[in-house]
Amino acid sequence: MVNHNHRNITPWLIWFVASLFFASQFILRLYPGLIMNETMVVYGLDVQQYGHYASMYYIGYAGMQIPAAWFLVRFSPRYVLCLSAALCGLSAFASHVVFNWQVLYLSRFLIGVGSAFAFLGVSELITQWFPKDKYARMVGITFTFGLFGAVYGGRPTAYLIGVTDWHFVLNLIALIHIIIALLIFFFVKSPHQENMVQVKDYIGGLGRLLQNRSMILLSLANLLMVGALEGFADIWGVTFLMKAFSVDRAAAATFTSMIFIGMIFGGPILALISHRVGSNLLVTMSCGVLLSIIFFFLLNYYHLFESATIITTMFVVGVLCCYQVLVFAIGIGLIKDPTMTGMTTAFLNCVNMCGGVLYHNLIGWELSVLQKSELDIVSQYTLQDFVFSLQCIPIGALIGAGIILIMMYLQHRKEAQ
């Protein structure tokens, strides 16, 4: 029996060590956006290939969401998280030991695979070590803690790249992940025997999710609305902001970091608004519409923005990106079986991360259409080229909001019957 006494430091130590991995993987997720031009030159990639490279993380992450949920229940989170953190570190090392684009792609994919276990692993440890009535609060604290990793993946990392060398910084980040893997091995443990969950039970649960029309619509809307975060903030936003506002890499990274700072506050803010309004669907749809409007003006009227304005805008975008918290709440509400909660979360997060695959490949392809010379590097593309290529973000957000509107109509019609 686990001792839930608040004076017992063991649960908090285990949570902290596991959460270090959740926070640190954000830095690896954002790193390619800071070294786009250098990577393209060294590995001989064009912008479309760079879009493929960036998307490999999301393919690995999305593809492992549902298997990760099973692994963490079937085996001890201690070993699963230790191996995952080590995989991220070793893959980061390998990405520039051999200057080969196949190795680069594979390492990015494996970093995504390893990162897929981070949040789900912390979530599983929370269920094992904390009382059930503390789960929601601990998940909220975990998200806040993890987003500080995303903030440090912005200006601080960009500054280190500017004063040292990008290979050295990547080695440092890789070493941090190896150290975290060792900390997990020595300090994380599970309080009970592993659960003998059968694979067929998980496959059956996934089949039931895929038969739910509302769940499919919700996941599709989530995928389309995620461009502001996974398309802009993660990779392409830094380069766009450098060109639009004539700032250096560190300053542009500071701007995009405001999105993650906004997300720290966004969850509670949107939850409060949703509680007052009484509809998660309505607030989610409103977030999609507002994201579409903001990015339309940012891309087409960037010359009207000043430093203070862009910082405020990025913060608001971060708050709106927390619509994903409401999506998970909506999804769980669509499923009547309480044992399907973990599978539902994993499924929605899987489709959500597929948005990174969609937007990185789409933006890279749109830029490649505008290629003007044989030397295909980011610096040769103009601001207007990026304006054109990033238009898919507001369009996707608006279509996603439209799908949520359809869900609201179907729900209203069902209640009226």
Check whether residue 15 and residue 60 sit in a common domain. yes
List Cβ<8 Å contacts ≥24 apart for 374-382.
Answer: 376/40, 376/46, 376/47, 377/37, 377/40, 377/41, 378/36, 378/37, 378/40, 378/47, 378/50, 378/239, 379/37, 381/47, 382/243
In angstroms, the CA 147 to CA 143 distance is 6
Check whether residue 286 and residue 402 sit in a common domain. yes
Check whether residue 362 and residue 404 sit in a common domain. yes
Check whether residue 222 and residue 182 sit in a common domain. no
Check whether residue 117 and residue 153 sit in a common domain. yes
For the chain, 417 residues long, give each residue's pLDDT as a single digit of tens.
Answer: 455 554 578 899 999 999 999 999 988 888 887 777 788 888 878 788 888 888 899 899 988 988 887 788 778 888 999 999 999 999 988 877 767 778 888 999 999 999 999 988 888 888 788 887 777 678 778 888 888 887 776 778 878 888 888 888 888 999 999 999 999 999 998 765 555 555 566 666 677 777 888 899 999 999 999 999 988 988 888 889 989 998 888 888 889 889 988 988 888 888 888 888 888 899 999 999 999 999 999 999 988 888 889 999 999 999 999 898 888 888 878 887 766 776 787 888 888 888 888 998 898 888 877 765 555 556 677 888 889 999 999 999 999 999 999 999 888 887 776
Domain-embedded: residue 388: yes
pLDDT recorded at residue 1: 44
Check whether residue 176 and residue 216 sit in a common domain. no
Which of 177, 197, 217 is the endpoint of a domain?
197
Check whether residue 68 and residue 156 sit in a common domain. yes
List helix spans (H) across 75-165. 77-97, 101-129, 135-152, 155-163
**Residue 209 is part of which domain span?**
201-417
Which of 197, 214, 247 is the endpoint of a domain?
197
pLDDT recorded at residue 397: 96
In angstroms, the CA 65 to CA 113 distance is 9
List helix spans (H) across 164-198. 166-187
Which of 179, 197, 215 is the endpoint of a domain?
197
Check whether residue 239 and residue 100 sit in a common domain. no
Domain-embedded: residue 1: no
pLDDT recorded at residue 371: 66
CATH number at 244 reads 1.20.1250.20
Check whether residue 285 and residue 325 sit in a common domain. yes
Check whether residue 178 and residue 212 sit in a common domain. no
As given in the structure block, the two tokens for residue 242 are: 């450098």
pLDDT recorded at residue 76: 82
pLDDT recorded at residue 338: 65
Name 314's Cβ contacts closer than 8 Å, sequence gap at least 6: 255, 256, 258, 259, 262
Check whether residue 147 and residue 268 sit in a common domain. no
Domain-embedded: residue 114: yes
As given in the structure block, the two tokens for residue 123 are: 């979530």
User: Largest alpha-carbon pair distance within the chain?
Assistant: 67
